[in-house]
A = this chain, B = another copy of it.
Amino acid sequence: MDLSFGASPNQKDSATTLAYNKLRLLILTGDLAPGEKLKISALREKLGTGASPIREALSLLVSDQLVVRHEQRGFRAAETSRENFDEILELRCSLEAKALRKSMQNATGKWEENLVLVHHRMTKLAAERSDGFEREHKNFHMALIGNCQSPLLLRFCSQLYDLNIRYRYLAGRSSTYKGRAIEDEHRQILDAALSSDEEKAVKLLVSHYEVTGGFLMAHIT
Contacts and interface: CB of A to CB of B under 8 A. Distances in A.
Interface residues of A, number: 32
A12 B72 CA distance: 9
A152 B63 contact: no
A76 to B, nearest CB: 15
A13 B71 contact: yes
30 contacts: A1-B62, A1-B63, A1-B69, A12-B71, A12-B72, A13-B71, A14-B71, A14-B72, A55-B56, A56-B59, A57-B59, A59-B59, A59-B60, A60-B60, A60-B62, A60-B63, A62-B63, A65-B152, A65-B155, A84-B152, A87-B150, A87-B151, A87-B152, A88-B152, A90-B150, A91-B150, A91-B153, A91-B156, A94-B98, A152-B160
Interface of A: 1, 12-14, 17, 52, 55-57, 59-60, 62-65, 69, 71-72, 84, 87-88, 90-91, 94, 98, 150-153, 155-156, 160
